[in-house]
Structure 1
Amino acid sequence: MKFIVGKKIGMSQVFLNNGTVVPVTRIQAGPCVVTQIKSQAKDGVDAVQVGFGIQKAFRLSRPEQGHLKGIDMGTGLTVRFLRERPMAEAADLKRGDVFTVKVFSPGEKVQVVGTSKGKGFQGVVKRHGFAGGPASHGHKDNLRMPGSIGAGGVQRVFKNMRMAWLSLPPKARLKLKHFPWKRR
């Protein structure tokens, strides 16, 4: 299974041979370095941990510096992001291996996993699809209000009551096509 860690840097467009315009997401992918190979016997899971990006080594804590000791990213530099991926066939990889986006061929289908946009603090109409209150009969100010949040005799609000709160970004999975990007 091939994978790589990257960072979104913007959007662009590609013109196909038949004249159609395809929107593309530009991702700075790699180079990634293997920082740890986890095994079922030692760590309880078969996985590979890779590092992406560059930062100064003094920004890491002492345990992180010890974990990344021996990974050469340049003088006084180390990896910035660590990501782990379950992988059964990690026998051909070893600590310190570097791989780039060249593991994918042009036109190959890839699955992109990332965090979608968060929408901040949202009310119950947008967050849960509530209908809101009536616009007449003495209700001029509660068009988008949640209404009652429970019985009065219980003296508390039950858990998992749907209320206004932060609309946190979920993890998004997309199946996309790989377009090689050439700089001019």
Structure 2
Amino acid sequence: MKGIIGKKIGMTSVFSPDGKQTAVTIIEAGPCVVTQVKTKETDGYTSLQLAFGDKKEKHTTAAEKNHFAKSNTSPKQFVKEFRNFSIEKALGESVTVDIFAEGDKVEVVGTSKGKGFQGVVKRHGFHGVGEQSHGQHDRQRAPGSLGNSSDASRVMKGVRMAGRMGGDRVKVKSLKVVKIFPEKNYILVSGSVPGHNGAIVYIQK
């Protein structure tokens, strides 16, 4: 596996030489600093810990400062561990978008947009209870009946109801790397990725 931490910039379109349009997401990926190297001998498994995004020293604890000082880097805001990294990197080295190539298939992990408390139509795709008839009114987006009356006398677990929606960890697989701009640390992947503009995402292959 190889991966990198990035920030979602937004979406745009790119056109191939034959005029085919592809919707892409722009991600500012890296440069990330290797802040810890774990090996099978010392930790039982192999991984690289990457850090991304500068952090003010006044918001950094003493333990974090000492940790980042070992790799000769300034305090970072986001830290992520990637197991079984396929490229050998030493402590303090940088990981950039060059680890990927155009045409690669990658996975992008992020946190979806939080939508607050939503009803069953938006949250689960319900259609409501039907038209206004037989005295019904304002029932188009209602959930309908929720449970049995006398037998169970309760609402069973797992019933789809209104509630908090969004803000979940989402992984999108098989996204194609359309283009890479190493000088700007930009990577363009096909389709959409979870999160708002400016959200932190993890790209891995």
Residues 131, 16 of structure 1: alpha-carbon distance in 2 compared, 3 angstrom cutoff: closer
SS in structure 2 at match of 1:173: strand
Normalised by the length of structure 1, the TM-score is 0.78
Deviation at 1:152, TM superposition (A): 5.0
Q: Distance in 2 between matches of 1:17 and 1:89?
A: 33
The answer for the alignment partner of 1:84 in structure 2 is 81
Task: Note the 1:141-160 alignment, pairs <5 A.
Answer: 141-151=138-148, 157-160=155-158
Q: Distance in 2 between matches of 1:35 and 1:108?
A: 29
The answer for the alignment partner of 2:3 in structure 1 is 3
Residues 52, 178 of structure 1: alpha-carbon distance in 2 compared, 3 angstrom cutoff: farther
Normalised by the length of structure 2, the TM-score is 0.71
Deviations 1:138-163 (A, max 9, x none): 22122211223334566754433321
Q: Which amino acid aligns with 2:75?
A: T
Structure 1 vs Structure 2 CA RMSD: 2.7
Residues 17, 131 of structure 1: alpha-carbon distance in 2 compared, 3 angstrom cutoff: closer
Deviates more, 1:81-90 or 1:151-160: 151-160
Q: Which runs of 5+ in 1 are unaligned?
A: none
Deviations 1:16-72 (A, max 9, x none): 222333333221111111112234454454322111111222212333233323233
Q: Which runs of 5+ in 2 are unaligned?
A: 185-205
Q: Distance in 2 between matches of 1:56 and 1:86?
A: 28
- Alpha carbons 1:133, 1:139 under 8 Å: kept: no
Q: Distance in 1 between matches of 2:22 and 2:85?
A: 36
Q: Which amino acid aligns with 1:24?
A: V
- Alpha carbons 2:64, 2:75 under 8 Å: kept: no
SS in structure 2 at match of 1:68: helix
The answer for the alignment partner of 1:53 in structure 2 is 53
Larger relative contact order, structure 1 or 2 (CA cutoff 8 Å, min sep 6): 2
Deviations 1:81-124 (A, max 9, x none): 1111221657x32221212112223x231313132434433211
Larger-gyration structure (1/2):
1
Moved over 6 A (4+): none
Q: Distance in 1 between matches of 2:15 and 2:41?
A: 50
The answer for the alignment partner of 2:159 in structure 1 is 161
- Alpha carbons 1:110, 1:178 under 8 Å: kept: no
